[in-house]
């Protein structure tokens, strides 16, 4: 279903070359109460192309013809600031989380559901076919925005060590977190 996040811009002549897999809490704990993931991103000026709920529902947040601010400071194979060339999808971790409880949750395989892996596999396959994306260009946020790029302790940890890449059937080598 469509769940638009308004923060995006025209793709221009920046071709889609890859996909960044993210994870975030389904509801983010804030002083004003729990904030639903897409509403939270909207509120902080971020955005992403799609989200997948714990029960495997695909939320379409922006078209692939738009550039969304999802990867931030990031690097991959000589490219810097991957938003221009990478689509982003957030796998939502069930429940209300602070950043600390989220980081703990994504260390467990239980953070992600089979329904999510199924929906994510379909989406990734579709995007790969649309844009001729090689297997190795489907990456985790932590791989392209880790401590080595953002500074010690500031690196991204998502989608997390509990995320099972083998379920995406990418024929992709195991990656370091």
Provide DSSP, the chain. Answer: -B------EE-TT----EEEEEEEEEEEEETTEEEEHHHHHHHTT---SEEE-TT-PEEE-S-TTEE---S-S-EETTEESGGGTEEEEEEEEEEEE-HHHHHHHTTSGGGS-HHHHHHHHHHHHHHHHHHT--GGGEEEHHHHSSHHHH-TTTS---S-TT--GGGGT--------
CB of 98 to Zn ion, least distance (A): 16
128 is an interface residue for Zn ion by CB under 5 A = no
158 is an interface residue for Zn ion by CB under 5 A = yes
CB of 67 to Zn ion, least distance (A): 16
17 is an interface residue for Zn ion by CB under 5 A = no
- Nearer Cβ to Zn ion (49/141): 141
143 is an interface residue for Zn ion by CB under 5 A = no
Among 141, 143, 144, 160, binds Zn ion (CB under 5 A): 141
22 is an interface residue for Zn ion by CB under 5 A = yes
Q: Which of residues 24-43 bind Zn ion (CB under 5 A)?
A: none
Binding site for Zn ion (CB under 5 A): 22, 141, 158
């Amino acid at each position: 279903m469509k769940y638009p996040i308004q923060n995006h811009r025209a793709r221009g002549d920046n071709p889609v070359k890859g996909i960044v897999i993210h994870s975030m809490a389904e509801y983010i704990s804030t002083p004003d109460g729990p904030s639903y993931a897409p509403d939270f991103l909207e509120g902080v000026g971020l955005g992403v192309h799609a989200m997948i709920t714990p029960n495997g529902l695909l939320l379409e947040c922006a078209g692939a013809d738009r550039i969304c601010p999802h990867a931030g400071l990031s690097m991959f194979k000589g490219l810097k600031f991957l938003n221009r060339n990478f689509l982003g999808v957030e796998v939502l971790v069930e429940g209300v989380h602070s950043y600390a409880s989220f980081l703990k949750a994504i260390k467990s395989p239980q953070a992600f559901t089979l329904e999510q892996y199924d929906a994510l596999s379909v989406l990734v396959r579709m995007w790969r076919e649309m844009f001729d994306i090689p297997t190795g260009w489907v990456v985790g946020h932590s791989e392209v925005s880790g401590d080595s790029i953002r500074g010690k302790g500031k690196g991204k940890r998502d989608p997390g060590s509990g995320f099972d890449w083998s379920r995406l059937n990418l024929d992709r080598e195991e990656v370091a977190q």
